[in-house]
Amino acid sequence: MKIGVVMRPNSDAAVAAVEQLTALAAQHGMQVGSVEERGSGVALEPERMADCDVVIAIGGDGTVLEAVRYGVPNDLPVLGVNVGRVGFLAEAELDDLPVVVEVIAGRSWSEMSRMTLTSRIEGGGSGVGLNDIVVEKINSQQLVSLELHIDGERFLTYRADGLVFATPTGSTAYNLSAGGPIVDPLIDTTIVTPVAPYSMFARALCLPPTSKIVCTVTLDRPAGVSADGVIVGTLDPGNSVTIERGPDRARFITLAKRSYLQTVKAKLKLYEGLDGASF
């Protein structure tokens, strides 16, 4: 059994966690892949990740997203250990490392698979997002005009800072800050949420996961396209990006510590007073 590691860069807590993980794994006869510095963090060498059985991300949500970029193409399950601030995607905390190692050593974990989204720019690049695909303005002082076609039918043209196309996993990320709904990741849907729209219609849409969405830039202002925060490319006026459910799902190891609703309450720090009011 071999564990691949993706670690948050420049974090003493993450370094200590990897050292603890390595020692615990050795007690069970398992290997932890050596880590090396890379441009976007610290991780096992990409060409060697395919030899692993699981991927552990030690950091925040960004580190988990980085781990998923290894896990999906290699069909590997991912488990996040939180040393960040919120850690919505993390299944475990640092104190859980002994349990994590025991579960992996015994191959006794449960899994949840989560949908992804793909983006393909007409005549350009492509990207895969576990959280979201975002089309947004490049010039901070100007709105962009984005026309949507859904399954071949024209819907609306948005004048806005941008549009967030989110998965249920990403519903608690940029989508949430833009006013979109929180959706349980057991549900497959594509959420379309405008960012600061200059329009009377500012509501999010939840579409079937089979929907094919074409987003076209109109007028004279370009827009940028990103997948989980990684730049995919630029849409010039008249150019389009197609957004669809990804062919591959992300696999996540679950420890069944708490329900999704409990996670939402804990991560968003939702509390109830004696009168039952939330704050």
Residue with tokens 């074409």: 214
Active-site position among 51, 61, 96, 228? 61
CA separation for the pair 147, 149 (Å, rounded): 7
All residues at 6 or more sequence positions from 269 whose CB lies less than 8 Å from its CB, including other chains = none
CA-based nearest residue to 253, from 123, 49, 64? 64
Distance of CA 220 to the CA centre of its chain: 31
The HSE-up count of residue 97 (CA atoms within 13 Å, CB side) is 21
For helices 12-27 and 97-105, give the axis angle rounded to 10 degrees. 40
DSSP 184-238: -TTS--EEEEEES-SSS----EEE-TT--EEEEEETT--EEEEETTEEEEEE-TT
Is residue 75 annotated as part of the catalytic site, yes or no?
A: no
Q: How far apart are CA 163 and CA 197, in angstroms?
A: 9
- Residues with a known catalytic role: 61
